Every structure is written in C-alpha cells, then in structure tokens.
Structure 1
Amino acid sequence: MTQVIAATDGSDAPIDLHALAASAGIAAEYVIPYGRDVAKIDLRALESSQHVSGGGASSPHYVVVTAITPTPFGEGKTTTAIGLAQGLNRLGQQAVLTLRQSAMGPTFGIKGGAGGSGGARILPAERMNLHLTGDFHAITAAHNLLSAMIDNHLHHGNELDIDERTITWPRVLDVNDRALRHIVSGLGAKIDGVTRQASFDITPASELMVIMSLATDLSDLRRRLGRIVIGRSRSGEWISAEDLKAAGAMCAVLRDALEPNLLRTGEGTPVLVHTGPFGNIATGCSSVIADRVAAAGARDGGYILTEAGFGSDMGLERFVDLKCAVSGMHPSVAVVVVTIRALKAHSGRHRLVSGKDLPEEMLQENVDDVRDGAANLLKHLQIVRGFGITPVVAVNVFPTDHDAEIEEVTRIAGDAGARVAVCHPVTRGGEGCLDLAGAVVEACQEAGEPASSRPAYEPQDDLRTKISKLADLYGADGVDYTPAASRLLEAYEQGGFGHLPVIVAKTPLSLSAEPGRKGVPTGWRLPVREVRLAAGAGYVYAICGSLSTMPGLPSRPAAERIDVDLDTGQIVGLR
C-alpha cells in the first residue's frame, strides 16, 4: 500500500513530493517541484520505460474508465477512477492514475470545479482548477502566437497569397465568453491590420491541446506543430504553420508544458495530470506522455488507470482509435461507470435539464425504469467488447438510490456476462471501492496481455468509410452529408489527408445525434453538416448537429461564489 506524507484533508500542510513520486516508481532526479504540493516530471523519466503495452503478469495492467451514455450531470467517471486507484492501493497494489487537467472556463461557469469530490478527489483542489503549473496558459499563448503571425502575414503583403476567407485558425481563451464566438478583427486604420471575420474558442478546444495530448516527445511535438493547417492559398494550396515559420516559436513556448504534472488523491495515491482536450471535437483523454511516464515507473503487475471522456461510443472509441494507436499501450480492462439516475433517464420517461435539480419522481424507487434503461448499458458493453476489451461494470451509488434498483442493475450486468461491483467513491473513498478494485484485479488477471485493441475502422479506409463504420457503432442506419461537407471530404482526400483517423463530433447525451433520444435509438441517420481538418493533431472531425467551441456563462455562474479568505489567504467557494 502506498505510504505518502500528504495533507489528505485539503489543508496546506507540506507533502513529500519525492516520496509521492517514488510511489509511482519515478526517481527523485526527475521531480521538478512547482511549489510545495505539485511537481512536474522531467521527460527523461521516459528513458527508463520498460513497458509498451498493458496487461499480463509481467507488465503493468492498463485500465481505462468509461461510462454509459451520460446525463447532463455526469455519472462520476473521475470520482470512480480516483476511488478505484485508492481501492487498489488499499489492496496492496501499486496504482498510478492519469487524468486530464481541469479548465478554468467551466470552473467559473455552470459546472464548477473538477477533480473529484468527497473521498475521491485530487489535491490540491485549488491548483487543479486554477492555473496548476501554467500549461493551459502556455497553450493559449502558443495558439494565439500563430493567430498573430497569420494576421501579421496578411498585413505585410501576404507573400503566401493566403485566401483570408479560408482561414480556420481562431484565437483562444480559457474563459467562457459567448461574446467572442464571432468577431471582426483588424478594425480601425490600415495600420491596425487586415479587417476580417474571426472567432474565439475556449483553450481546451484548441488543436494545440490535442497535439500536446498526443505528442510522444519534443521532436514529435515540433513535427505536429509544423503540420498545422490554417487555411488555403488563392490557388488552393494548404497553408501550414511551418509555411508561416511559426512552429519553432510555438514549440519554444510549449516546451516545459510537455512535462506532466504530479498531484495526489486525498488518500495519497499519485496522479499524473496533463492536458485537457475537449471531449466533443477531440480525444477527451489525458496525454500519451503521462501514460508513458506512469508505465516507465510501474512495477510488474502494477496498475495504470486512466479515463476516457463521455460514454464508450465517443470517449473510449477515440481512446482506442487515436490515443492507443499513438502510444502503443492497449488496455485489458475497461471500467464502465453506470448510475441509477442515468438508467432511469434512458427509460425515456424523464427529462433532465443541465443546471436544474433531478425531477422528484426520479428519486422514487422504480425498478421498471432501471430495467428499461439498462438497454443502454448493454449496448455499451457490446461496444467495449467490440474493441477487444474486457468490461467491468461499476455501479456508482448515490444516497438517493434504492437497494432494489441497485440489485436490478447488478443482476442485469451479471446476466450479460460482465463482472460488476457496487462502489461508493465520494462518500467512502478507497474503502468504498474495494469490491470494484477486487473485480478489476480479477478481470486483469483473466484477460491477460492484449496484443492490441481492435479499432473501429482500418487506417486504409477512406474518410467516408470511417465515418460510416462509426455510425454503425452508434446504431445509425446510415450517414447523410451536406453538400459542403461532401466537398470538403473530397478536398481532404485529394490533399493527402484521407489516411487520417476520424472523430465524430455529436452530442454525448445520446447514442444518436439528438440529445433527447435516450436508451438505444433506432431508425435514425447520422447527419454530417460540416467537416474540419486537424492536420497537426492528425485527424479529421465530422460535426453532427449544433456545436459550440466557446461556452457561455450561465445566469448564476460559479464565479459568483469564489473568493479569497483575506485572513488565511485560502481560496473559498470552489466545488
């Protein structure tokens, strides 16, 4: 069991960062303290890596946490992952958790802080949610440097003959600010630049965030930055960041941000927190480098745990088809998080609204709703197994759940051939996840070492075929393209981008493209209205339905309750 001197109550008592790193198998020479409770890990730690795949008795086990189709409230993947890591430690197993970094925008918006809750949380919470070691600021600066160099190139004669109407590179900011979604830049005199329509995205939606999450080392980062496509010339040539001579300076800004951050759970389990790409238009996973650092230090038979955003149809698929394809690490087991409230929602009898309390009737015992909504769980078990991964169902229990409902979902999952465990990460921490930890240990031992995960499509498939196979995975009857999307797909194929993976940007609240369709929708087609290229990150994404990459603040943003206690200097109001 990991023993670390840590402030488990969230106080500012000092911790031993070197002891924390040692529990993850990371030597003291690679620990770069950022204050007294957070450290970065030198990338030289990767040189000691002995493992390139998960599973098996002679290498660390690689476990990914996913979920069924979530409600707007989320089903607790992060808290379950934290609780599971702590539970494994309590069983005497070495466990290292890798997670995405929280963005400040949602922290001040409707969602509030991230990083777990109660007995399953990341410490220090205020640093996890505000700045951490400045990685997001570096990504914001590097992204906007390229934006500035694009406009500067236009201003000083436009040697590359960029067609400004084709520029797809926005500016970014880690604040929810709807007023910046559509702007006009360059207003004023001629000396103030070229006037053109432009936009802002939130920093997690930046292509640089995905590039950072997928880069395997500094050289790979530099190559990916150079491949970024910002638009086309008037003759139709693709214009890259390398063409603008911007990639080198961007890499310089991002160099230190490529190092993962070491934090801890409330029970002292080591956590590598690194990058935070958007879940809808990107991978929604923490970085390849963080996982590789964890693998470098993991003992034989240890556990590397990570999380994939949203449900298995979106997050796990991208985890397999993009992240695992880059990292070479392949999970033996996927923990599928399910909640009673999500199953009731998938019965189709209830309407949940983000920012509002659960309907009172959903708090009443209703086994029929749970049984009917379980079709969604069974679909996700099918998806997980389709990737060649063994599922373990984690029933994340809330105080309003009823014993009969918990027993019903446990029976259904068991009848489907899955291991299932009831867990209480928020209220009981690692102790409340011992059954889940035991189920994961058994599943990993039984699964053995996977040669590789089975992808949803083949690399040689053309872009339309890849999209079609993903539509099949969701249960669609086919795919419909707008004329504009069809033209761009053809242009990407002709431009040499047809070999790239595909991400389908759709609602995470349904297996379909319509958030109101619950359970396992039938009789629908996937509507692709737009496609975009992320050449540096290395994929094409198809946009289905409405999509906003710059959130707005709600009527009562979480920022209103955040302040600083002037007597103690402590930040208050984060949750």
Structure 2
Amino acid sequence: MAKSDIDIAREADVKPITEVGAKLDIPADALRQYGPDKAKVSFDYLDSLEDRKDGNLILVTALSPTPAGEGKTTTTVGLGDGLNAIGKKAVMALREPSLGPCFGVKGGAAGGGYAQVVPMEDINLHFTGDFHAIGAAHNLLSALIDNHIYWGNELGFDERRVAWRRVVDMNDRALRDIVCSLGGVSNGFPRQTGFDITVASEVMAIFCLSKDLKDLEERLGNIVVGYTRSREAIYARDLKAQGPMTVLLKDALMPNLVQTLENNPAFIHGGPFANIAHGCNTVSATRAALKLGDYVVTEAGFGADLGAEKFFDIKCRKAGLDPKAVVIVATVRALKMHGGVAKDDLAAENVEAVKKGLENLGRHIRNVGQFGVPAVVGINRFTLDTDAELAAVKEYTEQFGVEAIECNHWAEGSKGTIDLANKVVEIVEGGGAQFRTLYEDDMPLFDKINTIARNIYGADEAIADKKVRDQLHQWEKDGYGNLPVCMAKTQYSFSTDPNLRGAPTGHVVPVREVRLSAGAGFIVAICGEIMTMPGLPRVPAANSIHLDDEGLVQGLF
C-alpha cells in the first residue's frame, strides 16, 4: 500500500529552521521562530536587502483543473528542489492553504508525495496564525461599521449600501446571505448582509499586495466600506479603522519560512483564491525570495486563465515584477477529462481523448504567450500514464514551439524534475522574456473585462446589465478607472459553465455583480454562478479527518 502524503511528511528529516535560513544567508537573529521548523523573517532584515539584485522569477501555472488533479503545487515544490539539485540557489514562494478546501473537497496545499513542504499538518491547519489575523482584522472593521451606526451614524451610512461583509475561513453556504442585528434595539439596526470566505476578503488581497506595514495601513484606510444616501463613499479611514487593523496584522505580514522534504527553503505566505480573488502569494514574500535566491519558483491558483492572468495583470503590474519563464502543468488524466472521459474511466489508455483534451492546454499556451513570457509544459506523470499518451502531449506542444517535459517528482522528488529544471534555466539564460500586461491602465473598466473574456476565455463578449455598467462608469468618474480587474469565475472552464470542458468558443461571460476593492487596487467582476462563500460537498473531507490512538492527525491531504 502506497504511503499517504501525511505519512511521507512525518518521515521527513526535518532540519532546524535556522539551518534552512542559513542556506539563504539569513542570520538566526533575523528569524522569529514558531517552534523549531517554521519562522517569520523580520522586516528589519528584509529592509537591509533592498539594494540587492533580484533573482529570476518563474511562474508555475496549469491547465484548467479537473477532479483528476493536476499537481501544480507539487510541481512547484519539485521544480524548486530540482533547481537546487542542479546547483542553483532556488527559493519557492507559495500560498498558505485555506481551511475551507482542507475540510471540503480539494484538500490542502503543501504539495504531495516526495515534493512537499513541511511541517505539512501545521501548514494546512493554523500554521503561524496569519489567516486568523486577517479574519480578525476584517471582522473588526465589520464591527466598527455596525457600532458606528448604532451610536448615531455620524458619517451618514445608508444602511442599504453598507458594502462590507463579514468573513470566516470555512466553507459555509448558510452564511452567504444573512440578516444581522435582530433581537431588538439593544442589538442595533437589522440589515441584510452576508459572509465571504476569508481568502476572498479584500483584507487578504491587501495583505498580499502590500510591500510593508506603511503600505498596508494606507491600503486598509482606502477600503470603501459603504455609501451615504447621496452616494458619497465612506472609507475605513473615516472610522479610524486602519490603525487597529494594522496592529492585528503587524506580525502576520512578515513572510513565513519553511522547508521542503529535501530541506530547501520555501516561503509560504498569504492565500487568496484565484477563482474569486487574485490567487497569488504575498508581494512581501516574493520580493524577499527574489533578494535571497537566484531562482524563485512561485505559483498562481487554478488554471492559467485565472491565476496566471491575475499574476501578470494584477500582481506583476502592481509590484513591478518581471517574470522570466512560465511552467504550465498538465496531466494525462486531466487531458482525458477535458477530452470527455469520465473520472472512473481514466485508468484505460485513450490517446484520442488526450488529443481532444489538448485543446485546453493549447489555449493556455497561447494565452501565456500573450504576456511575452516563454513557457515550458511540465507533464506531471501518473503511474498509469502510457508512453503513447505522453508522446501525444509532447508532439502537440511542438506546434507552439514549446517543449513538454515528463516529471516524476511525486515519486522521486528532485530527481524527477532535473530535466524540467535544466529547461527552465535554459529559458531564463536565453533571455527571451519580454513581459507585458494584457491591457493598459487607462482602458475603460468594461473594456478590460471584455479583453480578458475574449483574449483569455475565448468568449465572443462579456455581458452585463445596465446597473453593472453604470456602476463601472461611476467608479471611473470617481477616479478608479485605472484599476485592473479581478475576474471571479469558475475555475473548471474557460466559460462560466463549470461543465463545459476543453476550449469552448462562442460563449458569453455574464457579469452579474462588480465590487470595488479600492484598498487592494482592483475591481472584482463576479461572473456566472461563482460564489464568494463556497459550500461543502455532500461528503466533505472533514468526515475523514481525525486523531488516531497515538494522537496523530489522519485524513488530512
């Protein structure tokens, strides 16, 4: 019987985090330790690195996800280990897992097999408490809003237009739409509101895009929390909320340092979802990694249509990052599903289904090319994949001038990614990257949405009713027209129909709602039926998670 990820992680020869930091020349006194195997890196030390030359930034993305699994985080870890194995000073920069998917359907986000970051259980659960701090800061602002209204509403909130919801880091569909403040005068004024999952919070986005505490505080103050009856914006700074929110986040903003199973350094920090948020780890961790390593391997959530697009158009635009190469992760299993094969039938060889499903990979390759960054396909190999199926993938990608390289990091660790690591170095040293964003800052907001819908999703157009368009026009008049857009859309399809796999064309992208994230610095366009508070599946992963007789966690993956 094959060992589970958690069993493999427990058998790891974990080094003291001070030894891992020493690989990057981080002095022990610059680490704020959370036990022997994880630490935060102090701002004072990171500030001292400002004049260092940046390393080379590598993005790992993927084709559109399927229930068959793609292994994007696993490949990110495997590639980081592989680069170290060939003598490069490489660092990984990953997102923190949310409790929602850990107890829902997707599981954690610490890699898998012999390409994991550890301590796996801590990372997938409470870790260093960052998400708790983000949730607390968000809900403090919620409490301050309702408290202000209760004590006389000096700012003139129109209670129908309070824009700030609450958050919890758990999938809980019952909280999507609620009425708060019931129970009489002493409990405040009843109004309709709701909860989002913490990883969809604007505070999470701000946390991940802030370069330091000063920037964080300014962004928090810029949050638009509601409007007056005359439609004047009310900001978090009007409630004097940015100060106490920053206090709650001051330690959390320091990047977290952990290690892989091969004792290589990895930053894990921040974790917005890519289907409903911008899907990238923190700017502070990425910038730290770029100063400390020659190669930095980072990931963006879900497929390249979501995570990679937002990485380029939001994170790189805002943080001034200059990516040098992209790895697009693909699996034969996922390609078969995009080719129409049911999950229960994936074990049988089906080259024709692979070829049909390759349309999905092809669109992702073309999409990445629009950003001017050269790509390579990493085929995350599974045991039952056949040589004929793998050959079909490799032959297909040649038409794009992109090499597809077989990877076996799940079973072999760094040994399984040596070829991919060498190819990434070849791409970087070739100097072919000419990074560009998909659209200019001054393009009208709805045109930005349409550009993404057409150029990335293959849609005929985006559609929205007059209320949505009028709201976008108003924001343009208010000075927010130069912001990028963050598309909230199902991750399973280029369309807004999660069941439409492959590379559909001729569809439309309905935008049902738009939200202003003035502090984060983008506009969120909520498309189709996507929810900012997920629900649990019929049989959640939580049903299998428990402590065994030895007090060890079982069922976490």
Q: TM-score per shorter chain, which class?
A: over 0.9
**How far is the alpha carbon of 1:310 from its aligned partner?**
1.5
RMSD of equivalent CA atoms = 1.8
Q: Deviations over 1:139-178 (max 9, x none)?
A: 1111000000010011011111101111121111112222
Among candidates 139, 160, 166, match of residue 165 of structure 1: 160
Alignment CA distance shift 1:369-1:203 (3 Å):
same
SS in 1 for 2:238: coil
Distance in 1 (alpha carbons) for counterparts of 2:512 and 2:68:
27
Residue in structure 1 matched with residue 328 of structure 2 by the alignment = 336
Matched, 1:82 2:77: yes
- Residue 3 of structure 2 corresponds to none
Counterpart CA distance in 2 for 1:158 and 1:109 is 39
Deviation at 1:263, TM superposition (A): 0.9
Q: What residue is the counterpart of 1:282 in the other structure? A: 277
Q: Which residue matches 2:4?
A: none
**Alpha-carbon separation, structure 2, partners of 1:315 and 1:295:** 20
Letter in 1 for 2:344: P
Question: Match for residue 254 of structure 1?
Answer: 249
Residue equivalent to 1:29: 29
Aligned pair partner of 1:455 in 429, 433, 437: 437
Using the alignment, how far apart are the partners of 1:528 and 1:11 within structure 2? 48
2:95 pairs with 1:103: no
Secondary structure of 1:470's counterpart equals helix
Give the whole-Å Cα distance in 2 for the aligned partners of 1:74 and 1:493.
Answer: 40
2:493 to 510, 513, 533: 510
Are 2:352 and 1:368 equivalent residues in the alignment? yes
2:422 aligned partner: 438
Q: Does 2:474 correspond to 1:491? A: yes
Counterpart check, 1:39 vs 2:30: no
Pairing 1:259-338 to 2, within 5 Å after superposition: 259-298=254-293, 302-338=294-330
Cα shift at 1:16:
2.1
- In structure 2, C-alpha distance between the alignment counterparts of 1:16 and 1:80, rounded to whole Å: 24
Cα distance change, pair 13–421 in 1 and its aligned pair in 2 (3 A): closer
Which whole-Å CA distance do the structure 2 matches of 1:343 and 1:12 have between them?
32
Match of 1:465 in 2: 447
Question: Residues 98 and 272 of structure 1 are in contact (CA less than 8 Å); yes or no, is this contact kept in structure 2?
Answer: yes
> Equivalent residue of 2:383, what SS?
coil
CA distance in 1: counterparts of 2:8 and 2:71, whole angstroms: 21
1:418 maps to what in 2? 402
Report SS of the residue matched to 2:479.
coil
SS for the counterpart of 1:359 is: helix
1:113 matched to which residue of 2? 108
Deviation at 1:50, TM superposition (A): 5.3
Letter matched to residue 283 of structure 1:
H
Secondary structure at 1:555's aligned position in 2?
coil
Partners of 2:367 and 2:244 in 1: CA distance: 42
In structure 2, C-alpha distance between the alignment counterparts of 1:335 and 1:51, rounded to whole Å? 29
Q: Deviation per CA, 1:463-508, whole angstroms, max 9, x where unpaired?
A: 0121121122122212211122112112211222111111121222
Q: Distance in 2 between matches of 1:375 and 1:561?
A: 36
Counterpart for residue 191 of structure 2: 196
Return the alpha-carbon distance in structure 1 between the equivalents of residues 344 and 69 of structure 2: 16
- Post-superposition CA distance 1:153-206 (Å, at most 9, x none): 110111111011111211111122222122111111201111111211111111
Q: How big is each residue's C-alpha offset from its partner over 1:529-560, in whole Å with a ceiling of 9 and x where there is no partner?
A: 21111111110011110121222222322222
Mapped pair 1:350 → 2:350:
no
Partner letter of residue 464 of structure 1?
F
Q: Look up the match of 2:517.
A: 534
2:444 maps to a residue whose letter is D
User: What CA distance in whole angstroms lies between the structure 2 residues aligned with 1:560 and 1:515?
Assistant: 25
CA distance, structure 1, for counterparts of residue 441 and residue 183 of structure 2: 48
Distance between the aligned counterparts of 1:555 and 1:378, measured in 2?
34
Match of 2:149 in 1: 154
1:101 Cα offset (Å): 0.3
Distance 1:197 1:177 in 2: 17
Alpha-carbon distance in 2 for matches of 1:27, 1:296: 15
Q: Secondary structure at the match of 2:136?
A: helix
Does the Cα contact within 8 Å between 2:172 and 2:535 map onto a contact in 1?
Answer: yes
Tell me the residue number matched to 1:354: none
How far apart, CA to CA, are the structure 1 residues paired with 2:553 and 2:209?
Answer: 33
Q: How far does residue 303 in structure 1 lie from its aligned partner after superposition?
A: 0.8
Q: Distance in 2 between matches of 1:8 and 1:542?
A: 41
Measured in 2, the distance between the counterparts of 1:236 and 1:183 equals 24
Contact persistence 2:158–2:229 (CA under 8 A): yes
The question of 1:48 aligning with 2:48 is answered yes
Instruction: State the identity %.
Output: 47
Measure the CA separation in 2 of the matches of 1:475 and 1:189. Answer: 52
Describe the superposition over 1:382-438 as per-residue Cα deviations: whole angstroms up to 9, x where unpaired: 111110100011011111211100011011112321122100121111111111111
Q: Which amino acid aligns with 1:318?
A: K
Question: Counterpart in 1 of 2:392?
Answer: 408
Matched with 1:399 is 383
Aligned to 1:337, the other structure's residue is in SS state strand
Contact between 1:63 and 1:334, CA under 8 Å: does it hold in 2?
yes
Contact 1:100/1:286 (CA < 8 Å) preserved in 2?
yes
Bigger drift between 241-250 and 323-332 goes to: 323-332
DSSP 3-state at the match of 1:363? coil
Map of 1:229 onto structure 2:
224
SS of the residue corresponding to residue 316 of structure 1 reads helix
Which residue identity lines up with residue 353 of structure 2 in the other structure?
A: D
Give the deviation of 1:48 after TM superposition: 3.3
Shift of the 511–12 alpha-carbon distance from structure 1 to 2, 3 Å rule, reads: closer
- Which amino acid counterpart does residue 39 of structure 2 have in structure 1? A
Check the 8 A contact 2:55/2:291 in 1, yes or no: no
Indicate if the aligned counterparts of 2:175 and 2:195 stay in contact, CA closer than 8 A: yes
Q: Do the aligned residues in 2 keep the contact of 1:335 with 1:394 (CA within 8 Å)?
A: yes
Query: Once the 2 structures are TM-superposed, how far is the Cα of residue 12 of structure 1 from its aligned partner?
Result: 8.5
In structure 1, the gaps of 5 or more residues are 1-6, 53-57, 352-357
In the alignment, the residues of structure 1 paired with residue 446 and residue 370 of structure 2 have an alpha-carbon distance, to the nearest angstrom, of 21
CA contact (8 A) 2:9 2:120 kept: no
Structure 2: 5+ residue stretches without partners? 1-6
- Structure 2 CA distance, aligned partners of 1:50 and 1:535? 27
1:544 pairs with 516, 527, 536, which one?
527
Residue 8 of structure 1, CA deviation: 7.8
Distance 1:520 1:479 in 2: 17
| Conserved 8 A contact 1:336-1:392 | yes
Kept in 2: contact 1:484–1:529 (CA 8 A)? no
- 1:257 alignment partner, SS class: coil
| Counterpart AA for 1:44 | D
Q: Distance in 2 between matches of 1:566 and 1:244?
A: 50
